[in-house]
Structure 1
């Protein structure tokens, strides 16, 4: 028996939702915005656009598909199924937030405000979703398959694996260091060469993230080549490595191939690993623990 396809609509609370939670009434929210040179009308307009886009996307889902909705804050508690088609209505960052919980499900990034948020990961307006869904067929035994009529990019992800089995993945980049970005001490091992370091942390970037945090670092270091989004490679940088009698600053940047790894042995208390700027969703690493960072086995399958 063929599995029933489910569309999962991922979204986040709008600014209006959060303002009303904080200020209780529209009048108080309007006063708060006015003190900052903004208007409630603009915030309400964007809220209505987001709600309208979610309704349009939901209406595009065929009647023989199941439909579920999940907010960003609940992603870590939501159970995705292999046959799901994930419809992310929001900005690029929301697609990245969802990707770490997925395992090869098809993802469609949808702009809630036509022409405003189209980017690297959000590639479609809400009006295009019906056509994309119509082109998605699910032959028996191949739930979630992408037909040739729909182009699907398989974007490389980065993963960190702790020696206790915990893992974290990211679409753009991973950060390893102190939560406050002060000096972190560790031993970094790359290709069999080890160096004890004190730095403000490591950034390990995919090609998708090569236009963000790592682009700034690469620019400051003379324009190191960064990988492409589908290239099975990662760029890594050590930030502000401090040379001293006890620490070195030789291993500060490089590229990792599909089978390469950075091995970090922690020599500080309570360092953190987080991805895509989501500091709240992180792994905590204590003295003596080992972290291995490399190309993730999973890919983001983006329509």
Structure 2
């Protein structure tokens, strides 16, 4: 027990030291590449659907029927309608710059369409960019916020009005690329989707307690909690940032280009007979985080809240920093 406490103290000290030497993005030059020129016909646009369009598809309703549904559910339709109009305007502005064949709708997207493009424009918000990014191996990601008035767009660098000038700079090779760290994982030896933001490990139902054994840097601990988050710098301003407030009052964001991952135990059980000590930590490229599932109900692992995998009792997940960073057009 004394040895475990000593190892844990050393691990916490190491993570504290790591945090103190990691400067914010504004003070660090991005990991740069010599950019390759990108012609207009080498670009694919993937627009997101608006909320109204999603509801029309998901509920199989017409536009007017969706609005009546909102009224029946006591939902104020005006902010949704205004956002719908702004997103349609952004879509029209961006789509008018390229040939219609270069527009690939999210519901019709095939991975080879993304992998065959030299650059991909994700027109939407942060979650949409993450969804598109999971298909990307090569090529440049361009994040365009389709509704800056309503979407914070922490990961989307550009707006629709920026695209004409950006396309000229892409064609001339006059732009910068930043390597955003991604995570890779496997469950019982089978690979799962890359995560640009985070992996979540826990139970499907929030009402059920998640149980697992976590192993990292020679330490091992059985934990009871609401789940485990493993994040990159790109994910550290989202879910992880909110969940970490019980340990860090101002959140705990870090650089998207840092070759580092952090993990966080959410809502840990702290009782008289059992409690968690390994509430947070980090690991570098070449290191591995291992989670053994003890879930009694329906355990899952999710990648960026897009892909979902069964993680039942006895399963083992392994998470590492991927060698395939996402190449993001940063300016």
Q: Report the TM-score range of the alignment, normalised by the length of the smaller protein.
A: 0.7 to 0.9
| 1:93 equivalenced with 2:121 (yes/no) | no
TM-score, normalised with respect to structure 2: 0.75
Tell me the secondary structure at the aligned position of residue 136 of structure 1.
helix
**Aligned partners of 1:196 and 1:247 also within 8 Å:** no
* 1:29 aligned partner: 66
* 2:255 aligned partner: 228
Alignment gaps of 5+ in structure 1: 139-146
Instruction: Give the counterpart of 1:178 among 203, 206, 209.
Output: 203
Relative to structure 1, the CA distance from residue 251 to residue 113 in structure 2 (aligned partners, 3 Å threshold; closer, same or farther) is closer
* 2:264 aligned partner: 237
| 1:157 equivalenced with 2:182 (yes/no) | yes
Tell me the secondary structure at the aligned position of residue 166 of structure 1.
strand
* 2:315 aligned partner: 289
* 2:300 aligned partner: 272
| 1:166 equivalenced with 2:202 (yes/no) | no
* 1:219 aligned partner: 245
**Aligned partners of 2:118 and 2:138 also within 8 Å:** no
Question: Which piece of structure 1 moves more, 164-173 or 249-258?
Answer: 164-173
Alignment gaps of 5+ in structure 2: 1-37
TM-score, normalised with respect to structure 1: 0.81
Structure 1, residues 213-249: CA drift from partner, whole Å, max 9, x if none?
2222332114575431111111111123336799651
Q: Residues 98-113 of structure 1 correspond to what in structure 2 (within 5 A)?
A: 98-113=132-147
Structure 1, residues 171-224: CA drift from partner, whole Å, max 9, x if none?
221100111132222221111222222222111111122222222233211457
* 1:80 aligned partner: 114
Structure 1, residues 143-196: CA drift from partner, whole Å, max 9, x if none?
xxxx3x212222112222223322222222110011113222222111122222
**Count of residues in correspondence between the two structures:** 287
Tell me the secondary structure at the aligned position of residue 18 of structure 1.
helix
**Aligned partners of 2:236 and 2:252 also within 8 Å:** no
**Aligned partners of 1:171 and 1:206 also within 8 Å:** yes
CA distance in 1, matches of 2:145, 2:270: 46
* 1:298 aligned partner: 324
RMSD over aligned Cα atoms: 3.1
Instruction: Give the counterpart of 1:10 among 31, 40, 46.
Output: 46
Relative to structure 1, the CA distance from residue 218 to residue 282 in structure 2 (aligned partners, 3 Å threshold; closer, same or farther) is same
CA distance in 1, matches of 2:318, 2:77: 48
Relative to structure 1, the CA distance from residue 188 to residue 118 in structure 2 (aligned partners, 3 Å threshold; closer, same or farther) is closer
* 1:38 aligned partner: 76
CA distance in 1, matches of 2:194, 2:315: 18
Structure 1, residues 24-70: CA drift from partner, whole Å, max 9, x if none?
34444333334536346x64443343233223222223x6x961413
Tell me the secondary structure at the aligned position of residue 137 of structure 2.
coil
**Aligned partners of 2:143 and 2:155 also within 8 Å:** yes
Structure 1, residues 256-302: CA drift from partner, whole Å, max 9, x if none?
11222210122335421112233xx2111233222111222222222
CA distance in 2, matches of 1:247, 1:82: 52
CA distance in 2, matches of 1:114, 1:243: 41
Question: Which piece of structure 1 moves more, 260-269 or 87-96?
Answer: 260-269
**Aligned partners of 1:7 and 1:66 also within 8 Å:** no
